[in-house]
Structure 1
């Protein structure tokens, strides 16, 4: 079985784009691969966080992941900071990465231009992300297009380390879902849905009530024409609705377009499909939220399982660079 690793930050709220673009695939992948899924709370610290909110959002995100179908008896689900090997390997990756490589990372350029305070961690976090992946001899990293550059850097660092110090790391590859990878904002279909704005009318949150989902989709931007077809360049709003409908019902956007001649029925069916997709997730989330101790127990179980692999990988890497083992 291939080994799969992916992570998600506990900042903002999980939205439909996260669910249909990544989390649905995570739930499927756990049955075909040795899958590890991580709440990357350390990555959240690259910008200032409220401690109480970070704790709450980390637990809430784990509960949503469980509610979407991740089974801790099948996959490994854990919180990044519960496995200290992540920070141990991150330093080796920082020493393997070049300043120019980190300086060229697109997300650093975008975020540093928006933040009043730019931390050193915001600059070096791609090295931590590489450590996240390499710790588990990962074969596949399911990502969206915006994370492609990070996986390429991880591959470069693994190959450079292996060339310098001998075979140490598995070189991973990025994989991309066939549909639903780019769920866009309903009000601005040229931009992705946002986790950071709870009240955004173009973002459907996984925990939104059915009436809220229906209202947001009903008000989604389309265009002046009436033809329903999947054409991202010419009809971004309609194409986004078709992506949502297709991903929610297990079809391609092109297949989802069949039979529609007006936008009204398309919006109504897209809303109904999303509500039906979210209903069991919201019910399971409510059960988990009522018993936070059980979520904590499951995360501890996942961290113990993850450390069995991570500790061996870190020890191998430390020996390769010449660090003296303890004891």
Structure 2
């Protein structure tokens, strides 16, 4: 079984630290650049992909008549999966489940930092604010007993709920498919922290806009490690600029975030460059999922993380 791995060397070392496990599954060809893909596809039965792989359209698939499985090391496959794959009977799988814990931990770290206004203190000291002035911040809170609203009980959302509940938070959930969920407006009005973990769907576009932000109490906190799709970014900036709310963001409409983007100037915003899933453990779990999926395919067993056209429509 020919396995072509289109994963750059740096990422490849994180996903597959023990290449012998990968090589034990078949005849492996490693590509250092996605540009090598056309020359490597002939004879490939399995293709392992990473971020930046080109769309697998008819032109490329004509070069790979033996291709039967695409195994993605990341979560969403929407940027490169095409209708041609399904039409030719190629199966698709992805490793998004491996990312839930690391993203949930970052969301927890964001939550704690915002509750204790760590980002405001850091910004004040780094910008040269005198000590006494830098020591002043809005009211701070502990997570124990904190009312936290979780929008979306996704894999990551559930992992986050487990973490904050273990620390004593009081959690409510807004999700049409979650038992015991409450309406979004009710959640926003009653939560000190709102953490976003909803999927990317037509109906979740700008789920949080000016009206929803206005429902949040003064001093409330917004955490977004999911997708910027969920938030009207202009409305969020307008609200944050008043200082009424604080936010922690790992995702943006424009990535990389422009160097002069106004978010960078706000002392009440904690920013990270879309790196919530970047831990060593997360990458290793993602690689393990890919290896398990290839092994399942090779032995004729069901895939544990198969992507169908219906699931693809729910991916960011």
TM > 0.5 fold call: no
Greater share of strand: 2
Greater share of helix: 1
Q: Which structure has the larger Rg?
A: 2
User: Which TM bucket (shorter chain)?
Assistant: under 0.3
Q: Which has the higher contact order (CA 8 A, sep 6+)?
A: 1
